[in-house]
Amino acid sequence: MNDQREFLKHRLQKLRDLRAAGINPFANTFKPRHTAHDVRTRMEGKTKEEIEGCTDVFSLAGRIMSLRDFGKSSFFHIQDRTGKVQAYIQKNKIGENRYALFKKIDIGDFIGVCGRAFLTHSGELTILVDDFTLLTKSLRPLPEKWHGLQDIETRYRQRYLDLIVNESVRATFQTRSQIIALVREFLVSRDFLEVETPMMQPIAGGAAAQPFITHHNALDMDLYLRIAPELYLKRLLVGGFERVFEINRNFRNEGISTQHNPEFTMLEFYCAYATYEDLMHLTEDMFCFLCRELFGSFSVTYQGTVLDFTPPWKRMTLKEAAAVYAEQQPSALDDPAHARAVASRYGVVLSGSESHGEVLTALFEATAERHLIQPTFITHYPVEVSPLARANEDDPTVTDRFELYVAGREIANAFSELTDPEDQRRRFVAQAEAKARLTGDPVVIDEDFLLALEHGMPPAAGEGIGIDRLVMLLTDAASIRDVILFPLFRAERS
């Protein structure tokens, strides 16, 4: 008999013993009126005498995380959503029968307890148990109490164990929830309307990633999981919703890394009559709001580096940034042949068919990106790599677009939107033809979106912010899997 089966056998025997004694080991009869946090805050700053003179009776429930048995009394810690609190149970206080029943309770079980607070000799605030109720009997062991759960694969595959034993993991996901709530609050306070647009789309538009494909049986129709909500949110601008946002999942059938999960959460928002420059200010305001609410400071330490979000943030054009980090004069990169030579020198692999703008973008990514640690807006993206962005009035080879870089990573992407349906059609066709040459896919144009544009979309600017990457920055997480509760994993084979 192996250890695992023996453990289960013992717990199942206790289950039978409890039922034989008339106890439901999965009862739902206890209504906790307090939390561990309530107990702590109620007694905070009080002396031992004041605490023990206090007649408040607490009633709380949670999982038993540790248990120290002294024969006629026991100490245990209960963990609820707010944290842990210790409890103490004595045989001569609750009676022989109740205490015998308590002996059937194990680490991992859920229990409800009632009692007053006291301070132990070593000064720990503790509930002296008047009575208890078993709420759920656990049948499997918890990970080790001191080292917790370390195995990264088990932590992700059995995230519930990770959450039970690793307090910092709970904190990360609580912060994630808080960040999303704050983003919502920020946008709603600025009169943005939260909307939901299709996750299943007949044409996967709004970005250039590989989509997941699925099929609707009744309509006998292939559908794509969306790679971006962009084209639907713009339809809403056409419809007269001047300020809209959506926080939802995108799906991209690409590689997995510490920065990429196949499904990830994206914030996109669109604001009529705004420009990309307005959105730079809005982005600064949003981050400052988040920092103030979360930390009370514009300084955030990420992986040992202090990031300073005090506005205004640095701004550089893409060409300037590429020039600085490729040690060139910006004007020198205006010569396509020279730019190409420099890019090759920095390890960019070129086929020869790339446009000048694509070469500059590749050079920027190869040289500058990883150096952009402090918040930096990169502007003036070439028109060839920005199929949905409005061309700059003074220099039509670039667009009114920016990306925000922090800690060497792309966090946000925004631009003044293209509103001219004929220009949009030309860009779609050029993009689809380029893709068709590369992949052999048929040229597909989102005619329905163009029809919407032909009805007239107000001038607008839009932005996308990768929520997972934002949460990583603000929770000091090294991997995107640390901020996604259930990241995608290969199925285990039996």
Partner RNA sequence: GAGUCGCUAGCUCAGACGGUAGAGCAACGGACUUUUAAUCCGUAGGUCCCGGGUUCGAGUCCCGGGCGACUCACCA
**One residue of 146, 160, 331, 353 binding RNA per CB under 7 A:** 146
The 8-class DSSP code of residue 389 comes to B
| Amino acid residing at 414 | A
Cβ atoms of residues 415 and 461 within 8 Å: yes
Stretch that binds RNA, among 21-29, 207-215, 234-242, 467-475 (CB under 7 A): 207-215
CB of 9 or CB of 292, closer to RNA: 9
**One residue of 41, 297, 478, 486 binding RNA per CB under 7 A:** 478
CB of 308 or CB of 369, closer to RNA: 369
Phi, psi of 326 (to 5 degrees): -105, 10
* Least CB distance to RNA at residue 381 (A): 7
* Least CB distance to RNA at residue 369 (A): 9
Positions in 397-436 near RNA (CB under 7 A)? 431
As beta bridge partners, residue 136 has 110
Is 447 an interacting residue with respect to RNA (CB under 7 A)?
no
Is 144 an interacting residue with respect to RNA (CB under 7 A)?
yes
Alpha-carbon distance values, 363 to 138, 386, 387 (Å): 57, 16, 19
Is 48 an interacting residue with respect to RNA (CB under 7 A)?
no
* Least CB distance to RNA at residue 6 (A): 6
Is 68 an interacting residue with respect to RNA (CB under 7 A)?
yes
Stretch that binds RNA, among 32-40, 141-149, 312-320, 441-449 (CB under 7 A): 141-149
Cβ atoms of residues 213 and 204 within 8 Å: no
CB of 337 or CB of 491, closer to RNA: 491
Stretch that binds RNA, among 18-26, 173-181, 206-214, 321-329 (CB under 7 A): 206-214
Is 185 an interacting residue with respect to RNA (CB under 7 A)?
no
**One residue of 124, 334, 395, 441 binding RNA per CB under 7 A:** 124
Is residue 119 helix, strand or coil?
A: strand
* Least CB distance to RNA at residue 312 (A): 25
Phi, psi of 460 (to 5 degrees): -160, 165
Nearest to 139 by CA among 5, 1, 12, 6: 12
As beta bridge partners, residue 218 has none
**Nearby residues of 487 by Cβ (< 8 Å), 6 or more positions away:** 156, 261, 480, 481
Is 122 an interacting residue with respect to RNA (CB under 7 A)?
yes
Is 72 an interacting residue with respect to RNA (CB under 7 A)?
yes
Positions in 74-113 near RNA (CB under 7 A)? 75, 86, 88, 90-92, 106-107
Positions in 255-274 near RNA (CB under 7 A)? 255-260
Alpha-carbon distance values, 404 to 73, 143, 259 (Å): 59, 41, 16
Alpha-carbon distance values, 413 to 297, 379, 386 (Å): 25, 10, 10
Positions in 276-335 near RNA (CB under 7 A)? none
| DSSP string covering 224-278 | EE-S-SHHHHHHHHHTT--EEEEEEEEE--S--BTTB-SEEEEEEEEEET--HHH
Is 215 an interacting residue with respect to RNA (CB under 7 A)?
no
